């Protein structure tokens, strides 16, 4: 009978070696100061940009709310003035 090319032991050894190598790479990336600084700066820039966008959106919403509120206040004053005029004129 022919000898198998890959045995279960060889496959298990390769899987263990690959897992150990991936763990070493992850640890190396966590310890690499240059990578940490590079991605930390990018992460801060993205966070700052998203905050700026959020504030801009909130400012726009607040402006729209303010315009609607002003419009309703003016309409209420006009209706109140018309009502008072009606009471005084024909009251």
User: Considering the chain, what is the average pLDDT of its residues?
Assistant: 81
Task: State the DSSP code for 3.
Answer: P
Give residue for tokens 């966008």.
Answer: 53
Q: Given phi > 0 = left and psi -120 to 50 = alpha, else beta, which region is 63?
A: alpha
Domain boundaries defined on the chain: 30-90
Q: Which pLDDT score is estimated for 6?
A: 66
**Cβ-contact 35, 29 below 8 angstroms:** yes
Q: Is the pTM of this model over 0.75?
A: no
Q: Which pLDDT score is estimated for 51?
A: 61
SS3 content of the chain, % helix, strand, coil (to 5): 90, 0, 10
Question: What's the distance, CA 76 to chain centroid?
Answer: 40
Model confidence pLDDT, tens digit, residues 2-60: 666 767 787 788 788 888 888 887 787 777 777 677 777 777 766 666 666 677 778 88
């Amino acid at each position: 009978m022919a000898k198998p090319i890959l045995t279960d032991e060889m496959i298990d050894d390769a899987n263990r070696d690959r897992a150990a190598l991936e763990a070493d790479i992850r640890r190396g990336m966590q310890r690499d100061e240059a990578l940490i600084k590079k991605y930390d700066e990018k992460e801060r820039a993205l966070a700052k940009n998203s905050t700026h966008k959020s504030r801009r959106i909130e400012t726009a919403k607040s402006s729209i709310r303010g315009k609607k509120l002003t419009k309703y206040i003016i309409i209420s004053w006009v209706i109140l003035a018309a009502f008072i005029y009606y009471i005084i004129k024909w009251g």
